[in-house]
Structure 1
Amino acid sequence: MTSTTPIRRALLSVSDKTGLVELGRALAERGVELLSTGGSARALRDAGLAVRDVAEVTGFPEMMDGRVKTLHPMVHGGLLALRDDAGHLDAMKEHGIGAIDLLVVNLYPFEETVARGADYDTCVENIDIGGPAMIRAAAKNHRFVTTIVDVEDYDALLAEMAAHDGATTLEFRQGLAMTAYARTAAYDAAVSGWMAGRRGDAAPRRRAAAGTLAQQLRYGENPHQRAAFYTDGSARPGVATARQAQGKDLSYNNINDTDAAFELACEFTPEDGPACVIVKHANPCGAARADTLCAAYRAAYDCDRTSAFGGIVALNRPLDAETAEEITGIFTEVVIAPGADEQALSIFAKKKNLRLLLTDGMADPRAAARLIRQVSGGYLWQDKDNGHVGQGDLKVVTRRAPSEREMADLLFAWKVAKHVKSNAIVYARDGATVGVGAGQMSRVDSCRIAARKARDMAETLGLPAPLTEGSVVASDAFFPFADGLLAAAEAGARAVIQPGGSMRDDEVIKAADEAGLAMVFTGMRHFRH
């Protein structure tokens, strides 16, 4: 196979003009002939560079509003011809086809057009045809052709050419070809996914997804597992789009846990007031809302101080100095917030290893999104759980209805339970969690574990009784038997929120009435596995 191949002729046709002139000038200084189209050619000429129009090469003008310009043998022959094949060389000579050694193309901004909410026809017009065709042709012929699809590879290209006297190596071209095919695959996935969405097709026969590398990770959940972090191009505020203001690189577990924390924090809207969530191993070990962010942090911390050590903190308001001082009182892995003031940044700067992520906003918890999970031999694909219930959606099923305070706590606990691994039980009181039971195989065990944790914290805080006394309890799914509900009553809970729908609902309701509990049904469950 041919190894080092000189670049003598390049075709540059880009939608994103970033760095185009600088690249064109650097190539021209090396004696590379520049071919181009439309706006790219104008930008290069305006910079004083000699450019030959593709229309001049093909003998056909751009037509049909630019839909047809590069789909021609004079272009694709120059990209696909094997330079060591006598038959290909004879065909090039016979038809006057010149070799193209470098292709620089980035595609019509389809994803950006969809993201800004453009109408159907505008989105369709931003589906690139000639670009992907040229990219695939050049990448297939990577033995001879260098293919660039990302602006961030311009500097690498020029460095490669400088190191090899204007040529590129096979290894370099092969890496770029791999990137090129991933780009066209991602582009097609975006188009297909958009079309499925516009058709309302929840289960198309073929489904594709793609991502862009955001970070090479040291390892995965454990040191023997390789891992990397990819973004999907979504503009949704969160861990993937946040700016890291300080601290070490995020690990696989950091990213997973920070996402879990921030998604729960986003459940608390401005109407809920300042809220704080503390997560450990993807489960909230404390959550609270209060009059101030600092008070919310303290209340969340007091739910389970042991688990909070080394945890992830998510806030629904910009970080302030008072809250920053409290957070730095213990070891915390990551803090994620929509912003931070200068005093808070100065306080955190003293903790060099503490990672601070700033999202510049909160995500809409009710917005549509997708979740993908790999299983052996396939993928599970589902909508994100953006289910929501308000007070008007609740059905009181016991003789006693919840008080106003209990109702507020029930709705709070329900939001938290949605983000706890099943089987999930959440005790709450005065806008704060006071006990969380997560991921147990039986619901009654979750009830008991959460209550035990509350007793432990009461001892730590020097309280005369655990805060589950007078609390409410949320269950992510129905109580299949009365035992779990009775365990919650024994812990001191006075009101219950659960989906309902069990064959033994009547038995559970009767037990609640006998225990003096108020209970409401949501008609919606929140399994989280």
Structure 2
Amino acid sequence: MELRYGTNPQQQAAIEPARPGAWPVRVLHGSPSFVNLLDALNGWQLVLEASRALNRPAAASFKHVSPAGAAVAGPVDDVVAELYGVDPAGVGALTSAYLRARDVDPKSSYGDFAAVSHPVDAELAGMLAGVVCDGIVAPGYAPGTVATLSRKKNGRFLVLEADDSFVPPDIEAREVFGVRLTQQRDTTALSTALLDNVVCGTLPATARDDLLLGLAVLRYTQSNSVCYVRDGATLGIGAGQQSRVDCTRLAGAKADTWWLRRHPAVRALAFRPGLRRQDRINWQIRFVEGDLTPGENARLSEVFYEPVAALTDEQRAQWLADLTGVAFASDGALPFRDNVDHAYRHGVAHLAEPGGSIRSGEVEAACREHGISLVHTGLRLFHH
């Protein structure tokens, strides 16, 4: 396997397997870059673990070595169906997983790298042919699907096949500024046993599944990281922030945006014909965010048939109050109760974190105050 270039085009790059001849993925079409491989390898591990833990097809939409969204197979709502032109009653399991993952943060998923846990079928290949996506990793491809995908991006779309029987070495190594670091690979299995230590509240089976998906997501998300999950799909992922509460607020804002995109006023926006899907998505999000720039305000008549009125604070509050039953997972111990207070504002009813911080008592008290069930996993999932 050869790499097109390194992290940046001005950097040369090379790749070799940790064990001679033992490759976890192989290239079926295209020429990967350094970052393509990082996305693919992280994405593949995420969907493989999530699928095995939850016994359902899983998908992830990766950007810059962290997932923008992840989901397991499940119902596709009318918003997603209308946006991607699919029949919500007839969409296949694997396609549903990817559509749900991509819809979490569709602005960030523009030009993503897709990862799916099961072989790509004709339905998923056809759907991918119509979205802006840079590549995919999967454990197999139905006849004709590689040919369909290879025509994307003027033949530059990357198609990787993962070996689902591959077992990585026990020791991981990386070099930074002339220093080689090695560590034991974290082989802790993700299972419902991690959620047995319920500190307060009750944990229904659906919440256990959502928290388990959250843990799989966090294991392959740049730390610090947290995620909001509901009905088998992430609603918001906060990655790579130095302050955990900033992750919580960032991911919470994404969850709110996801929910507000389902508001009747947003769904009723009358776009002018010919506007591309991603432009419609971006304008929906800007309408939800509400802080249009002077330049954006000047373009509204070019985008919409009719004048648009921003959502009022009351409309936003009333709609967001209906976002409930959300699960929240953190890759590290919550250091202060402010994470709980912010999470509660975004519909969180169930929370999983490692526990063990010096203020864990305050975090528990906040959960009890807000009626949030709290689980201590005892497992930190930092990823760098």
Query: TM-score band, normalised by the shorter chain?
Result: 0.7 to 0.9
- Greater shift, 324-333 or 300-309, is seen at 324-333
- Write the mapping of 1:202-221 to structure 2, written as runs, cut at 5 A: 214-215=1-2, 217-221=3-7
- Show CA shifts across 1:209-266 (max 9, x none): xxxxx42x44321233232222223666633xx2x2223x111111121111111122
Say if 2:53 is the partner of 1:250: no
Deviation at 1:360, TM superposition (A): 4.4
Say if 2:367 is the partner of 1:502: no
Distance 1:428 1:460, change over 3 A: same
Deviation at 1:346, TM superposition (A): 3.9
The residue type equivalent to 2:50 in the other structure is F
Aligned residues of 2:172 and 2:183 also touching (Cα < 8 A): yes
Alpha-carbon distance between aligned partners in 2 of 1:389 and 1:318, rounded to the nearest angstrom: 23
Distance 1:383 1:487, change over 3 A: same
- Counterpart position of 2:133: 332
The correspondence for 2:105, drawn from 295, 300, 304, is 304
Q: TM-score, normalised by structure 2?
A: 0.75
Alpha-carbon distance between aligned partners in 2 of 1:232 and 1:355, rounded to the nearest angstrom: 22
Deviation at 1:479, TM superposition (A): 0.3
User: SS of the residue aligned with 2:141?
Assistant: coil
User: SS of the residue aligned with 1:266?
Assistant: helix
Taking only the aligned residue pairs, the percentage that are identical comes to: 34
Aligned residues of 2:229 and 2:327 also touching (Cα < 8 A): yes
The residue type equivalent to 1:427 in the other structure is Y
Say if 2:225 is the partner of 1:415: no
Say if 2:140 is the partner of 1:354: no
Q: How many residues align?
A: 309
Aligned residues of 2:111 and 2:132 also touching (Cα < 8 A): yes
The correspondence for 1:478, drawn from 322, 329, 333, is 333
- Counterpart position of 1:289: 72
- Counterpart position of 1:259: 41
Deviation at 1:388, TM superposition (A): 2.4
- Counterpart position of 1:224: 10
The residue type equivalent to 1:273 in the other structure is R
- Greater shift, 329-338 or 433-442, is seen at 329-338
- Show CA shifts across 1:301-325 (max 9, x none): 1111111111111111000011112
Provide structure 1 residue ranges, at least 5 long, that are not aligned to the other structure: 1-213
Distance 1:234 1:447, change over 3 A: farther
The correspondence for 1:516, drawn from 371, 381, 384, is 371
The residue type equivalent to 1:357 in the other structure is L
- Write the mapping of 1:387-406 to structure 2, written as runs, cut at 5 A: 387-406=188-207
Aligned residues of 1:400 and 1:516 also touching (Cα < 8 A): yes
Instruction: Flag the structure with larger Rg.
Output: 1
- Write the mapping of 1:128-277 to structure 2, written as runs, cut at 5 A: 214-215=1-2, 217-233=3-19, 238-239=24-25, 242=26, 244-247=27-30, 249-270=31-52, 272-277=55-60
Say if 2:350 is the partner of 1:527: no
Aligned residues of 1:451 and 1:468 also touching (Cα < 8 A): no
The correspondence for 2:245, drawn from 417, 434, 444, is 444
Deviation at 1:357, TM superposition (A): 1.0
Distance 1:345 1:368, change over 3 A: closer
Distance 1:429 1:246, change over 3 A: same
The residue type equivalent to 2:357 in the other structure is S
RCO comparison, higher one (Cα < 8 Å, 6+): 2
Alpha-carbon distance between aligned partners in 1 of 2:261 and 2:128, rounded to the nearest angstrom: 19
Alpha-carbon distance between aligned partners in 2 of 1:437 and 1:348, rounded to the nearest angstrom: 31
User: SS of the residue aligned with 1:434?
Assistant: strand
- Counterpart position of 2:307: none
The residue type equivalent to 2:64 in the other structure is H
Deviation at 1:342, TM superposition (A): 1.4
Deviation at 1:452, TM superposition (A): 1.0
Aligned residues of 1:221 and 1:252 also touching (Cα < 8 A): yes
Alpha-carbon distance between aligned partners in 2 of 1:427 and 1:468, rounded to the nearest angstrom: 12
The residue type equivalent to 2:101 in the other structure is A
- Counterpart position of 2:63: 280
Alpha-carbon distance between aligned partners in 2 of 1:313 and 1:341, rounded to the nearest angstrom: 17
The residue type equivalent to 1:359 in the other structure is A
Distance 1:462 1:388, change over 3 A: same
Alpha-carbon distance between aligned partners in 2 of 1:445 and 1:468, rounded to the nearest angstrom: 21
- Greater shift, 340-349 or 289-298, is seen at 340-349
- Greater shift, 428-437 or 336-345, is seen at 336-345
User: SS of the residue aligned with 2:148?
Assistant: helix
Deviation at 1:286, TM superposition (A): 1.0
Aligned residues of 1:325 and 1:347 also touching (Cα < 8 A): yes
Aligned residues of 2:238 and 2:248 also touching (Cα < 8 A): yes
Say if 2:187 is the partner of 1:386: yes
Provide structure 2 residue ranges, at least 5 long, that are not aligned to the other structure: 75-92, 265-318
Q: TM-score, normalised by structure 1?
A: 0.55
Runs of 4+ with >6 A deviation: none
- Counterpart position of 1:44: none
The residue type equivalent to 1:486 in the other structure is D
Aligned residues of 1:272 and 1:289 also touching (Cα < 8 A): no
The residue type equivalent to 2:238 in the other structure is G
The residue type equivalent to 2:14 in the other structure is A
Deviation at 1:467, TM superposition (A): 9.0
